[in-house]
Amino acid sequence: MDSSEHPSASNLPLDRLVAHALSELEKLRYSRRSLRRYRTVWEHLVRFAREENLSDEYSEHLAARFVDAHRLQNGEHFKVNEEWRRHIPFLVTVLGDFARNGRVEHTRIDTSKLQVPAAMQKSLSEYEQYARDRRHLRASTLHGRMRAIVVFLDELGSRNVTSLDQLQPADVAAFVVSRGRMCPRSMSRTVSDVRCFLRFLLLRGILRQDLSPVLPTVRVARDATIPSVWEPELVERLLKAVERSSPRGKRDYAILLLASRLGLRLGDIRALTLDDLKWDTGAIEITQSKTGAPLCLPITEEVGQALIDYLKSGRPRSAHREVFLRAQPPFTPFADDGRFYSIVKYWRELAGIHFRGKQHAGLHSLRHTLATQLLREQTPIHVISEILGHATTASTMIYAKADVESLRAAALDTEEPRHGE
């Protein structure tokens, strides 16, 4: 929606502002479930403003009061009928953006609905081939990079830029502005992807000038975010909730153990093959999908029993060499972009696990939890790096944010091997 359609959105009464915003979401074809979530939060905001005798117009003060009033208190958990509170901070921000700009920006974009101008499709295809053959990007990485380019080209089309040789600095700048609500890390990734594409166009002579300098440098500190970790007792509750008499339960239990006990990355679990299980030496030997470096981890008794139980009594008969297969016919391996999030979510909800605040709760968070637990046990940093398959200890240091005091002790321990030399 063009902002000119709502020149005075910020001055509308709150209930009318909400009605206009919901109408915009419907035009953008948001799902019924999403619409219900937005409507619930915004209607509570209107009711809150009336009950507190606050302004009948949207304001940052009103938004802050509303968010603060519904924040989880220490020891509190969301009740079944109050799950909408979980989404308050983000959805109130969306309404604030609509009040200022008269439009709603998609945070998750369905690329199947995007349209790349016909004159740009050949260059897009050539860049994809270039990224695959010359830059040697993995399939999952390439998918994410191309997604950003498709979003960029779709927006150019909406600005009536029909061919890439028409591209101007103002068009590039406008795209960056339209992504303004992205978090720094996502913005940095998007800007980097578009910059590489623009340089490719210059290399091929499609652009006459280098437009990549128009893009800003988005700096994201290596340790800018705190890894999401579980309390140890919650991990144990999750594992105990897995019903291991079914093929699915046997599979999921083994997957969860590989992440929480050995710290394997999602991609490495997904790609794990029967040949990677070295039963004679009691080890898992893989080439890491992220770094390409070899990694050898011991098959502990707990992990070994879970794997054997799944392989003997849960895994379907198949010619596929991947260890983990889908539980429903045709029993194929998981796709390269499979996240396993539904596996964690299913057993977490069955276990009745709730977190005190917002955090990641997928398979990768179990890897984070293992690293943090090792720090608490004063495991030397270089040992944790080896377990996690990090190329350097610098990557491991981010877990210090979850347990600073343990890091101080562990950092001292890294000197011990040197004393023995």
Query: Residues with catalytic annotation?
Result: 265, 290, 364, 367, 390, 399
Token readout for 195 is: 């910059």
Question: Around 29, how many Cα atoms within 13 Å sit in the side-chain half-sphere?
Answer: 4
CA distance 369 to 376: 11
Q: Which helix (H) or strand (E) holds 345?
A: helix 341-350
CA dist list (Å): 93 to 6, 98, 105, 318: 18, 9, 11, 49
For residue 283, give the H/E element and its range: strand 283-287
> CA 71 from chain center: how many Å?
23
Which residues are CB-neighbours of 243 under 8 A, at least 6 positions away?
249
Of 307, 306, 290, 292, the closest CA to residue 367 belongs to: 290
DSSP 118-180: HHHHHHHHHHHHHHHHTS---HHHHHHHHHHHHHHHHHHHHTT--SGGG--HHHHHHHHHHTT
**Per-residue tokens: 116:** 């790349």
